[in-house]
Amino acid sequence: MVSHPQSTVHALLAACERRPRHPFLLFEGRRLSFADVRDAAARWAALYRRRGVAKGDRVALFHSNSPEFVASYLGAHMAGAIVVLVNTQYRQTELRHILSDSGARLVVTEERLLPELERVRADLDPRLQVVDCRSQPEERAGHEGDIDLRPSDVALIGYTSGTTGRSKGAMLTHGNLMANSAAVTQAWRWTEDDRLLLTLPLFHIHGLGVGLHGALVTASTVDLRRGFDAGEVLETLAAGDTTMFFGVPTMYSRLIEEARRRVAAGADREALGGRVRLFVSGSAALSPQIFAAFEELFGQRILERYGMTETVMNLTNPYDGERRPGTVGMPFPGQEARVVDVRTRRPLPDGETGEIQVRGPHVFAGYWNNPQATAEAFDPEGWFNTGDLGFRSPDGYFTISGRARELIISGGSNIYPREVEEVLLAHPQVAEAAVLGLPDAEYGECVVAAIVPAADFRERVAGLGEEERRSAIAELQSAVVEWCRAQLASYKKPRRVVLVDSLPRNALGKVQKHLLRERLT
Ligand code: MLC
Ligand code: AMP
């Protein structure tokens, strides 16, 4: 096993010992050293304690990328709390579920998101406290020296997966997070001299568990952005201080598009990648076409890796060896992976497709308050069932070929069809609904909904002329999209709504999505 700090806070304090004045975070003209972040985190810890947060209590973070996010996150750990990550795009349905399921005691948020919280407040524990992320208590907390954190303590809960329409909270311990960062930083030769340009959201494992934590354990610098903008990224790379960039495939396809535009307008092609030594892609499949186009323009082979909320990082293409497009490489140091038969659960020989299982210190501690889901996720030897299908080549490279569970990945964000279907079914004009992901050039996959309208709608349009019928249908389609947007994160709304007379179902009444897919493609 690779040695690692005991907790995120131990990692922060170690970085402060080594190089207190070194910049940890660069953000919109601000420059925060490790010591600055430690002090800000200690102030947050004091604020939490004053508000009654005790060890093991849940603190939800519902705000965007900023130094305040990092300080409120590490401060929660200093106070012994468990952080609940909340996507800032989440709306009523997700907020109601996550904030009540996690039993959050306090939520840190920003002004623009307050109305979203207000909308669900009546359904939540009246004791839930809401704190503005700009709160900066003046005094310094006691000392962060008596941190009582063990590797087995839960550090965060990331909500993921939702075969039942409700997402489950994956509990990652400090040990899981730090073991992961140790493995990632070793595999990618991450050193204290690196500067990571981070445009990924910190409320996901990719930005937080891979990006921020990697910089924390190596005591290196993060150039943190509010979000991704292709032009801004290209300008930053060209400035020459960035050494690493991590992104989802949609970001790479936008970078390629923007770079082509600039080269056509006379920009220097040679300077596109600046001084970057490593471009990493993950969270969704990177197509070999994007890989090749990027190499042609930027002169660099993207390193593709595979992970998930429950495990942070699992597999990676090699830093030094061949980065093979279409594959996700091999296990990180100290981790194991294998492929098993979907039915017999026995390990399969190389080349045969089955479910990928992983095992190691990076694998989560189970689902919050859900022993049944936890038990189902592991086999008796402690292998975690990823739900992803794939195979291993004879020379050890894994390829992901599909998913055992229903999941749409659009632009690196996960969408569970069942959750969208439930929202659609609650619309008064929808009788039946089925949601699936169809291929999309920009996002990889996009959400498509097939709906059977309610009887009164069907009767009404049956009596209309062609023109009026078309406009009634268009009206229903857009009403349904707006309905979803009001209740769910906007990226989950269907990008196409198709009205059908009936859904193809099997003898048990289950919708046959493969037939529907054929019909809609
Ligand atoms: C935004 N939109 C999307 C979308 N993101 N639609 C479909 N899929 C997406 N992923 C829609 C919004 O709803 C909005 O619609 C419109 O696009 C503009 O919104 P935006 O906020 O301006 O979007 P943009 O900045 O363009 O976002 C694209 C993106 C972003 C690729 C930068 O989606 C992103 O940051 N993705 C990364 C997600 C991530 O970090 N995943 C890692 C999970 S961890 P409207 O109609 O409202 O205007 C994990 C483990 C692992 O998977 O292995 O890493
Ligand atoms: P999440 O639940 O948001 O953590 O998403 C994890 C899922 O993203 C995995 O189970 C995979 O299905 C998918 N994923 C992550 N990285 C890759 C990759 N490089 N290629 C294909 N799928 C990926």
Letter string b/e over residues 196-217, b meaning 16 or more CB atoms within 10 A of that residue's CB: bbbbbbbbbbbbbbbbbbbbbb
**Joined tokens for residue 149:** 């954190």
What is the Cα Rg of the chain in Å?
24
pLDDT of residue 147: 80
Of the pLDDT bands very low, low, confident and very high (cuts 50, 70, 90), residue 79 is very high
Does residue 284 have its Cβ closer than 6 Å to ligand 2? yes
Lowest mean pLDDT among 103-112, 145-154, 270-279, 508-517: 145-154
pLDDT of residue 148: 86
Of the pLDDT bands very low, low, confident and very high (cuts 50, 70, 90), residue 16 is very high
Rounded distance between C-alpha atoms, residue 82 and residue 155, angstroms:
5
Strands 303-308 and 168-173: unpaired
**Residues 346, 351, 352, 358, Cα dihedral to 10°:** 50
pLDDT of residue 205: 98
For 402-447, write each residue's pLDDT tens digit.
988 889 999 999 999 999 999 999 999 999 999 999 999 999 999 9
H and E: helices and strands count for the chain: 16, 24
Does residue 314 have its Cβ closer than 6 Å to ligand 1? no
Phi/psi of residue 207, each to 5°? -70, -45
Q: How far is CA 311 from the centre of its chain?
A: 12
Share of the chain above pLDDT 90, in %: 93
Mean model confidence pLDDT for the chain:
95
pLDDT of residue 375: 96
Share of the chain above pLDDT 70, in %: 97
Does residue 162 carry a pLDDT above 90? no
Q: Ligand 1, residue 201: give the atom nearest the CA.
A: 40
Rounded distance between C-alpha atoms, residue 503 and residue 42, angstroms:
56
343 or 135, greater pLDDT: 343
Mean pLDDT value of segment 383-412: 95
For tokens 């524990």, the residue is: 125
Residue to mutate, 413, 445, 480, ligand 1, most ligand atoms under 8 Å from C-beta: 413
Does residue 160 have its Cβ closer than 6 Å to ligand 2? yes
Q: Ligand 1, residue 493: give the atom nearest the CA.
A: 13
Are 392 and 339 a contacting pair, CB within 8 Å? yes
Letter string b/e over residues 378-415, b meaning 16 or more CB atoms within 10 A of that residue's CB: eeeeebbbbbbbbbbeeeebbbbeebeebbbbbbbbbb
For 287-301, write each residue's pLDDT tens digit.
999 999 999 999 999
Mean pLDDT value of segment 224-240: 97
Strands 330-331 and 336-340: unpaired
Is the whole-model pTM more than 0.85?
Answer: yes
Lowest mean pLDDT among 142-146, 256-260, 364-368: 142-146
Residue closest via CA to ligand 2's atom 9 equals 308
Are 145 and 121 a contacting pair, CB within 8 Å? no
Of the pLDDT bands very low, low, confident and very high (cuts 50, 70, 90), residue 2 is low
Q: What is the DSSP string of 360-375?
A: STTS---BTT-HHHHH
**Joined tokens for residue 500:** 């059908």
For 484-502, write each residue's pLDDT tens digit.
999 999 999 999 999 999 9
Please list, in sequence order, all residues whose beta carbon lies within 8 angstroms of the beta carbon of residue 509, skipping any fewer than 6 positions away.
none
Does residue 411 have its Cβ closer than 6 Å to ligand 1? yes
Q: Where are the beta strands (DSSP E) in 75-142?
A: 82-85, 106-109, 129-132
pLDDT of residue 107: 98
pLDDT of residue 145: 52
pLDDT of residue 193: 98
Residue closest via CA to ligand 2's atom 20 equals 285
Helix (H), strand (E), coil (C) string for 418-432? HHHHHHHHCCCCEEE
Rounded distance between C-alpha atoms, residue 321 and residue 106, angstroms:
46
Mean pLDDT value of segment 149-173: 89
